[in-house]
Structure 1
Amino acid sequence: MKPLALFAALTFAAPALADGHLPDLGGRTVVIATEDAYPPIQFKDPASGEAIGWEYDFMAEAAERLNFTPEYEKISWDGMIAAVGAGEFDMGMTGITIRDDRKEAVNFSVPYMTSQMMMMVRGDEDRFEDAAGFAADDDLLAAAQPGTTPFYVTVYDVLDGDEANPRIRLFETFGAGLQALRAGDVDLVLSDSTAANGYVAASDGGLKIVGEPLGTEQFGFIYPKDGDQDLIDAFDAVIADMEADGTLESLNTKWFLEYELGG
């Protein structure tokens, strides 16, 4: 595991009161671990350098409804689950897939997003059209981040189950893997359907999706294993509230359909 790379980040002012029908966190500060490397879920605006994305918009709205101050600290994906699980942060967010093995280290919120894993390739790719075609050609390479859902789907659903398969090129961030795809250094990147559709729409034909979805995943926020149950319950309540009133769907529309990544 790589050393934790922690940096002080942004703090937003707390609102005066929470919504009356939701828990009130009393203006407390909630320290949130972030990665800022998974657009459009969370990333640095290429023009301003500001941390933006789906989760930041969600958190700003949640802060209004629950009455808390979000304070962000950046950490690498490699160390996030262990650090949050050990109580170094109040919670963590970076499009984290809810999985049983991760539940051994952290607590999860209820899902705030459900997505499907898609195969993203260059727009002129004609050597394969599905997972079987990719697996059959030993010259083809895939990009992945170690320890992520795309990594495990690549290994177990696309290739041969060998986590050391040399056809997988590992990158520290999703963005680096996507850049390698664009440059022709790899031939496949897996991404959740919402993000993949956003990238393809903004690529002006440079990227496309091939094949059928490779399984379904749900995203959730993470908390220390022995963390604050009141905080977990409050976030579960606000997720349900924002789903019921259409806020989550509005965020999906903004970040996956309207926002042109990198533009």
Structure 2
Amino acid sequence: MVSLLSRLVAIAVIAMSSHSFADSLPDLKGRTILAVTENAYTPLNFVDPATGEGIGWEYDAMNEIGKRLNANIEWHLSSWDTMIQAVKQGQYDVGMDGITINEERAEQIDFTIPYMTSQQFMLVRADEDRFNDATSFAANPDLHFGAQAGTTNFYVAVYDVLDGDEGNPRITLLDTFGASVQALKSGDVDSVLMDAASARGYIGANPGSFKIVGGPLGSEDFGFILTPGSDLLAPINAAIESMKQDGTLEALNKKWFFDYNQ
């Protein structure tokens, strides 16, 4: 009885919190927000094979932000290597692609508060037996990473696993994150670094193809990026905070990182 009562009280508190935040959030009065992503970072953003539409954690989160702020989200696509510059120049209002908050990027664009904290892990083929962690990977000169230039995955591979040389030939550069995973699957590279959420997504979507080896290689915070000085920063931050407080972000984690791949 006590356990049931506690659960009912928790549900009531979340419901009241949600209504309270909704009442206090800014009203953007139907404003259209131009959002951009890549559709290549499962399960944050990717193409639904059944419909051809973009889906994922970030889609759901930004659409929910739009609802809470009384704004319309208009979706666009961009490659990773042009996204930050496009948002900086104001071609889009907000961008997302599992973008790590760091000082170098913050000099170019504005970041929201973090919507997710993640750690990097080594994704490998399911039958891999030549190494079992970052140290044994680094010790074998025949092993190669697949990565996109300028991403967290690339920099962790360079500085946390290898020798700090960004031109190290043991890193094969590919155009998209999905291409890196495909290169791993086909045997062209031996590991791809990614956050735990995406690793679970790829493992779930490709049964028997991949596994994770070793432990976490650092921690990172993800944020949405906005044009410098954007008047959307405060409203979006307020919406993110409300979603943290009322359990919405945790519900999205459960949907995309666990339930989706069951």
Tell whether the structures are fold-level matches, with TM greater than 0.5.
yes
Partner of 2:251: 250
**Which residues of 2 match residues 113-132 of structure 1 at below 5 A?**
113-132=116-135
Cα distance in 1 for partners of 2:64, 2:226 equals 19
Q: Which has the larger radius of gyration?
A: 2
Secondary structure at the counterpart of residue 48 of structure 1: coil
Secondary structure at the counterpart of residue 213 of structure 1: coil
**Which residues of 2 match residues 64-143 of structure 1 at below 5 A?**
64-143=67-146
User: Residue 180 of structure 1: CA displacement?
Assistant: 0.9
Q: 1:41 aligns with which of 38, 44, 47?
A: 44
Secondary structure at the counterpart of residue 116 of structure 1: strand
Partner of 1:9: none
Partner of 2:194: 191
Structure 1 residues 84 and 100, CA, compared in 2 at 3 Å: closer, same or farther? same
CA contact (8 A) 2:47 2:55 kept: yes
Cα distance in 1 for partners of 2:83, 2:64 equals 23
User: Residue 201 of structure 1: CA displacement?
Assistant: 3.4
User: Residue 225 of structure 1: CA displacement?
Assistant: 1.5
Cα distance in 2 for partners of 1:85, 1:202 equals 34
Deviates most, 194-203 or 173-182: 194-203
Matched, 1:149 2:152: yes
User: Residue 81 of structure 1: CA displacement?
Assistant: 0.8
Partner of 1:200: 203
**Which residues of 2 match residues 49-68 of structure 1 at below 5 A?**
49-68=52-71
CA contact (8 A) 1:42 1:52 kept: yes
CA contact (8 A) 2:123 2:212 kept: yes
User: Residue 161 of structure 1: CA displacement?
Assistant: 0.9
Unaligned 5+ segments in structure 1 are 1-17
Amino acid at match of 1:250: A
TM-score after normalising by structure 1: 0.89
Amino acid at match of 1:159: L
Partner of 1:220: 223
Question: Would you tell me which structure has more strand in proportion to its own residues?
Answer: 1
Question: In angstroms, what is the RMSD of aligned CA positions?
Answer: 1.4
Partner of 1:259: 260
Matched, 1:165 2:168: yes
Secondary structure at the counterpart of residue 24 of structure 2: coil
Cα distance in 1 for partners of 2:79, 2:126 equals 31
Unaligned 5+ segments in structure 2 are 1-20
CA contact (8 A) 1:98 1:220 kept: yes
Partner of 2:6: none
Runs of 4+ in 1 over 6 A off after TM superposition: none
CA contact (8 A) 1:19 1:64 kept: no
Secondary structure at the counterpart of residue 97 of structure 2: strand
Amino acid at match of 1:243: K
Secondary structure at the counterpart of residue 235 of structure 1: helix
TM-score after normalising by structure 2: 0.89
Aligned length: 242
Secondary structure at the counterpart of residue 120 of structure 1: strand
Deviations 1:183-220 (A, max 9, x none): 11110010001111222234323211111100001100
Amino acid at match of 1:46: P
User: Residue 227 of structure 1: CA displacement?
Assistant: 2.0
Question: Kindly, what percent of the aligned residue pairs are identical?
Answer: 57
